[in-house]
Amino acid sequence: MTKDDSNKEIIFSDNTPETNFEPSEKLEFNFLRPKSFSDYIGQNKIIESLSIAVEASRKRDESLDHVLFYGPPGLGKTTLSYIISNQIESNFIHTSGPALEKPADAVGLLSNLSSKDVLFIDEIHRIPKTVEEYLYSAMEDFRVDFITGSGAFAKTINLRLESFTLVGSTTRPGLLSSPLRDRFGLSYHLDYYDENDLKDIILRSSRLLDLKIDENSSIEIAKRSRGTPRIANRLLRRVRDYVEVKNIKKINTKVINDSLEIEGVDNLGLDRLDREYLRIIAANYEGGPVGIDAISASLNEDQATLSDVVEPFLLKIGFIIRTSQGRKITKLAYKHLGI
C-alpha cells in the first residue's frame, strides 16, 4: 500500500515490480548475445571506455559508476548491460521505467539489491517524476529517505543501501531530467552500425546457429539490416527458416532475395510500413510537408512508432527531411518507390 502525496509518504507492501535476481548468465534468453567485451562487435570507442571503467572498478573493489546508454532501439544497449554484469560477476536485475509506478516500487527494489549488483532500467525516461526523485539519493549516496505515518505521527526513516550500479537505457534522452542525467558517471550514445560490422555480426550468429553462409551473402543481409544488429539477427533467422523449409543446401544472393521478399523487406531494408509511410506522403500530401499526427492518422499507426522506429532510418538514408512545417520526402525516396 502506498500513499503518494507532497509528503512522499510510503508504506511498504509486497507489490514491488516483477524483477529477476538470478545471475546474469541465466538471464541471457537469446544465446546470440555476446557475453564479454571481446565478443562484442562494433561500437569500439564505447567498448574501450567501458572496459577501462569496469577493470578499474574491479581493481579498487568498488561498484561501477552508474551508466546511461541512449540511442535508437536494437543497437545493443541491453546486451552491453548484460556484459557489464558478467564482467564484474554480479547479479543482474532487469526492470523498466513503466514498471516502477509508485515510489514504493522503487524503494522495495533498491532495498533488495546486494553489493555491486547491476540494476538495469529499460525505458528509463518513462519513470514517473515522483519515483525518479527517490533515485537521486540512491544513486548519489546509496540511501533512501522516506516518510511513514502522517501529521503528528509522521516519521522520516533513512534506509541505507548497498553500493550498486544503475544502468539506464533510453531511446529518447531528451525526456530525461537534468538531475537524473547528471547522476550517471558514464554516458554513451550508440549509433547505427556500418555494413562491415553487421557482416561480422551475421557471420558470428551464423556459426552459433550452425548455418553455412558465405561473406557475400552475409553482406546482402547486412545491407538490409538498417544499421541495426537486432534486425540483422532477425533477418538471418528468417533466411534460416526459408532454407530449412525449402531444403536448400547453399545460401546465395538469390536465396536471400527470395526469403526476405516474403518478409516484405526490400534491397535497402525498408519494410512494408516504411514504404507505406513514404507513399502516404507522396500520394496524399504531394510529398509534404505534413505533420506526424496526420501521417499517423492516415496509417492508423502510433506516432511513437513512426518517430522512434520508422523515421530515424529514413532520415539516415536521406529519404525524408524534417522541417518546421512537417515531414517531406526527397527525390531519393521517389526514385526508390518508382514514382
Q: Which residue among 230, 240, 274, 327 is the active-site one?
A: 230
- 306: which DSSP letter? I
Q: Which residue among 116, 171, 199, 226 is the active-site one?
A: 171
Cβ-based burial of 278 (10 A; exposed 0-12, middle 13-18, buried ≥19):
buried
Distance CA 257, CA 140 (A): 52
Strand 92-96 to strand 118-122: parallel, antiparallel, or no bridges (unpaired)? parallel
Amino acid found at 51: S
Give yes or no: 171 in active site: yes
Q: Which residue among 2, 16, 77, 327 is the active-site one?
A: 77
Give yes or no: 117 in active site: no
Q: Which residue among 2, 16, 78, 170 is the active-site one?
A: 78
Contacts of 84 (CB under 8 A, 6+ apart): 50, 54, 64, 67, 118, 165, 167
Distance CA 265, CA 274 (A): 10
Contacts of 63 (CB under 8 A, 6+ apart): 57, 115, 116, 163, 164, 165
Distance CA 272, CA 131 (A): 39
Distance CA 309, CA 316 (A): 12
Give yes or no: 230 in active site: yes
Kindly report whether the peptide bond that precedes residue 289 is cis, defined as omega within 30 degrees of 0. yes
Where do the H-state alpha helices sit in 38-102?
Answer: 44-60, 77-87
Q: Which residue among 122, 224, 274, 327 is the active-site one?
A: 122
List active site positions.
77-78, 122, 171, 230
